[in-house]
């Protein structure tokens, strides 16, 4: 119990940090942070910092094995920037490593004679033309691509020995770069898959715009191949996030620059407790079915008592009919009295126990019903989250008014913002519990999940109600409600965080 108490303290500290937007002032380096299932060590880096980081790895590999920096880059790119792995593989079988990384041609059996013969063959394919070629000068050689003779110093070749003139190489590189291909540019020879290292490209491509493009695209490739690095998915944001916890987990990452919140593992919107595969499946499903679902779950509902049409204009599910003063739940349209006192279960989907014996048609209907049940709740919380932004704006105006009227200072009313921020955080998690529940197999684990989900849902509704009516709510009461809601949220996440329970599906 005391442990829980500590973590609660911890969370209110976090909110405090969030509020002052000073996440970097980690004065309290207490370990209990590790007990937070969402906690994740990461750093937001600038492009230059990442370039430095990658260059350091290149240098590190360079000191360990004898290889040019460009080839080191190819190897690192191919092996997830794991220097130790490359070194051990190199010691084991250097030739094999270079072949699989496509630095060397795979022909183990006398690579030099076979390639040189293929060159001879290709140039002979041109020389048989009885055209007046410039072959009078024996020094000149024919480039098989442009069919023009050049002096030998105009030629360049890779480890595969396929030799072409520099102009043709440069043109080949530009064509590839134009298509967005950089680290995967290959040799020009037929059926040769040897890769062109960076230095050759940058030596031969002279147009600055193409050089810049190359470096830009190659950098993207390098970052994407590094397991600890992720581009911030925020629009026009250049931040690269580095995980400093040596693991790739589906944890919440918030970009320091643009505040975009995303899952470190898949780069999508943060989605705990649902895991990366399930959320993708769910979002695809929603995109496919949304027309029907939107049609069915319209934005308005009728009051269950007086049947007046009601449009929801706030985040709370506790509805209070202005017409007949009836209190009901927006979700299940049941009497709100049962929600307050009794066990809150309108978040739970009740499966038809006889479904296996029903007709296919009924099963399809049941499947749609089940989907709509979860979809409606998912959509509802997503909309509530948007509405809570409006609530926050309203709070701001209200607080300003109060401060102007000298009813307390600005500081006095800050707790309201904290409460609104916490409410949004809780609702966000709650929204992402629905895809998880949808794909869960029925059983005791699902029962437990839905029990915790219902608890969270109930506390969030209470909190939402109290935040919206903050003037009449006692401060202590509100703070207590915040603690309870956040505790429900973390309990659920602790028990069902994706990295620890990914095996519960299929």
Partner 1 sequence: MAALPRRIIKEAQRLQLEPVPGISAVPDEQNARYFHVIVTGPADSPFEGGLFKLELFLPEDYPMSAPKVRFITKIYHPNIDRLGRICLDILKDKWSPALQIRTVLLSIQALLSAPNPDDPLANDVADLWKANEAEAIRNAREWTQRYAMDTTSM
Q: Which residues are catalytic?
A: 316
User: DSSP secondary structure string, 235-304?
Assistant: TT---EEEESSSS----EEE-TTT--EEETTT-SB--TTS-HHHHHHHHHHHHHHHHHHHHHS-SEEE-T
- For partner 1, the closer CB: 117 or 259: 117
Distances (CA, A) of 60 to 76, 317, 450: 11, 58, 51
Kindly give, in sequence order, each residue whose CB lies less than 8 Å from that of residue 297, ignoring residues fewer than 6 positions away.
372, 375, 376, 379, 380
Binder to partner 1 among 46, 120, 146, 367 (CB under 8 A)?
146
Instruction: Report the SS3 class of residue 211.
Output: helix
Residue 23, helix vs strand vs coil: coil
Please, which residue, 144 or 233, has the CB nearer to partner 1? 144
Q: Which is nearer to partner 1, 182 or 490 (CB)?
A: 182
Q: Is 144 in the site for partner 1 (CB under 8 A)?
A: yes
Nearer to partner 1, 141 or 252 (CB): 141
According to CB under 8 A, which one of 71, 76, 189, 331 is a site residue for partner 1? 189
For every residue of 148-184, DSSP letters joined together read: EEE-GGGEEE-TT--EEEHHHHHHHHHHHHHTT--TT
Helix, strand, or coil (residue 198): helix
Quick one: 188 or 239, whose CB is closer to partner 1?
Answer: 188
CB of 223 to partner 1, least distance (A): 24
Q: Closer to partner 1 by CB, 131 or 287: give it.
A: 131
405 binding partner 1? (CB under 8 A):
no
Q: Does 126 engage in binding with partner 1 (CB under 8 A)? A: yes
The minimum distance between CB 188 and partner 1, in angstroms, equals 5
Minimum distance, C-beta of residue 115 to partner 1, in the bound complex (Å): 12
Determine if 116 is a binding residue for partner 1 (CB under 8 A).
Answer: no
Q: Is 191 in the site for partner 1 (CB under 8 A)?
A: yes
Cβ burial of 33 (10 Å; 0-12, 13-18, 19+) is middle
The two beta strands, 141-143 and 318-320, are: unpaired
Tell me how crowded residue 238 is: count the other CB atoms within 10 A of its CB: 13
Asked whether position 136 contacts partner 1 by CB under 8 A, the answer is no
| Of the candidate residues 131, 139, 404, 406, the single one contacting partner 1 (CB under 8 A) | 131
**In this chain, which of 87, 171, 372, 403 binds partner 1, going by CB under 8 A?**
171
| 315 forms part of the interface with partner 1 (CB under 8 A) | no
| Cα angle, residue 245 at apex, residues 241 and 250 outer, rounded to 5° | 70
In the bound complex, what is the minimum distance in angstroms from residue 216's beta carbon to partner 1?
21
Rounded alpha-carbon distances, angstroms, from residue 410 to 47, 91, 97, 402: 39, 66, 65, 8
Q: Is residue 123 a contact residue for partner 1 (CB under 8 A)?
A: no
Q: Which is nearer to partner 1, 144 or 314 (CB)?
A: 144
| Residues between 30 and 49 that touch partner 1 (CB under 8 A) | none
Instruction: Tell the smallest beta-carbon distance from residue 219 to partner 1 (Å).
Output: 23
Out of 67, 168, 240, 420, the only residue in the binding site for partner 1 (CB under 8 A) is 168
Tokens 């699989």 belong to which residue? 100
CB 482, min distance to partner 1, A: 57
Name residue, tokens 């795979």.
106
Q: Is 262 exposed, middle or buried (0-12, 13-18, 19+ CB in 10 A)?
A: buried
147 contributes a contact to partner 1 by CB under 8 A: yes
Which SS3 state, helix, strand or coil, does residue 186 take?
strand
Nearer to partner 1, 115 or 453 (CB): 115
Q: Does the footprint of partner 1 cover residue 127 (CB under 8 A)? A: no
Is 129 an interacting residue with respect to partner 1 (CB under 8 A)? yes
CA distances from 73 to 56, 67, 104 (A): 11, 10, 14
Residue ranges binding partner 1 (CB under 8 A): 122, 125-126, 128-131, 144-148, 162, 164, 168, 171-172, 174-175, 188-192
């Amino acid at each position: 119990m005391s442990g829980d108490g500590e973590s609660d303290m911890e969370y209110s500290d976090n909110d405090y940090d969030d509020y002052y937007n000073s996440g970097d002032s980690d004065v309290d380096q207490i370990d209990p942070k590790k007990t937070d299932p969402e906690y994740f060590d990461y750093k937001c880096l600038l492009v230059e910092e990442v370039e430095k980081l990658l260059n350091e790895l290149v240098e590190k590999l360079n000191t360990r094995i004898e290889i040019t920096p460009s080839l080191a880059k190819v190897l690192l790119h191919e092996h997830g920037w794991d220097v130790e792995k490359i070194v051990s593989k190199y010691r084991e079988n250097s030739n094999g490593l270079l072949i699989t990384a496509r630095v060397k041609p795979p022909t183990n059996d006398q690579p030099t004679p076979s390639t040189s013969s293929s060159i001879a063959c290709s140039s002979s394919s041109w020389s048989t033309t009885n055209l007046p070629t410039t072959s009078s000068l024996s020094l000149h050689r024919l480039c098989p691509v442009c069919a023009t003779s050049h002096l030998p110093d105009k030629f360049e070749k890779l480890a595969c020995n396929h030799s072409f003139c520099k102009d043709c190489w440069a043109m080949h590189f530009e064509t590839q770069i134009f298509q967005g291909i950089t680290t995967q540019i290959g040799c020009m020879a037929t059926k040769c898959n040897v890769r062109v290292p960076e230095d050759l490209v940058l030596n031969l491509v002279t147009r600055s715009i193409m050089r810049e493009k190359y470096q830009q695209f190659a950098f993207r490739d390098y970052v994407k191949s590094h397991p600890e690095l992720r581009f911030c998915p925020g629009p026009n944001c250049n931040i690269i996030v580095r995980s400093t916890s040596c693991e790739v987990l589906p944890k919440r990452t918030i970009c320091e620059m643009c505040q975009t919140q995303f899952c470190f593992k898949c780069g999508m919107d943060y989605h705990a407790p649902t895991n990366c595969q399930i959320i993708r499946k769910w979002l695809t499903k929603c995109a496919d079915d949304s027309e029907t679902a939107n049609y069915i779950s319209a934005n308005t509902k009728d009051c269950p008592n007086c049947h007046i049409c009601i449009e929801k204009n706030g985040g709370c599910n506790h509805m209070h009919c202005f017409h007949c003063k009836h209190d009901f739940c927006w979700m299940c349209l049941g009497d709100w009295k049962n929600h307050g006192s009794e066990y809150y279960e309108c978040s739970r989907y009740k499966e038809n126990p006889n479904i296996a014996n029903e007709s296919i048609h009924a099963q399809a209907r049941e499947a749609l019903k089940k989907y709509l049940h979860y979809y409606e709740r998912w959509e509802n919380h997503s909309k509530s989250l948007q509405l809570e932004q409006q609530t926050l704006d309203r709070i701001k105006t209200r607080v300003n008014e109060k401060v102007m009227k000298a009813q307390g200072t600005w500081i006095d009313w800050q707790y309201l913002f904290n409460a609104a921020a916490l409410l949004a955080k809780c609702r966000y998690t709650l929204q992402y519990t629905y895809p998880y529940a949808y794909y869960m197999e029925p059983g005791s684990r699902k029962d437990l999940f839905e029990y915790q989900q219902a608890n969270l849902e109930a506390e969030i509704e209470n909190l939402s109600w109290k935040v919206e009516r903050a003037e009449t709510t006692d401060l202590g009461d509100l703070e207590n409600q915040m603690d309870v809601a956040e505790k429900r949220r973390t309990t659920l996440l602790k028990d069902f965080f994706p990295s620890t329970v990914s095996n519960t599906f299929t």
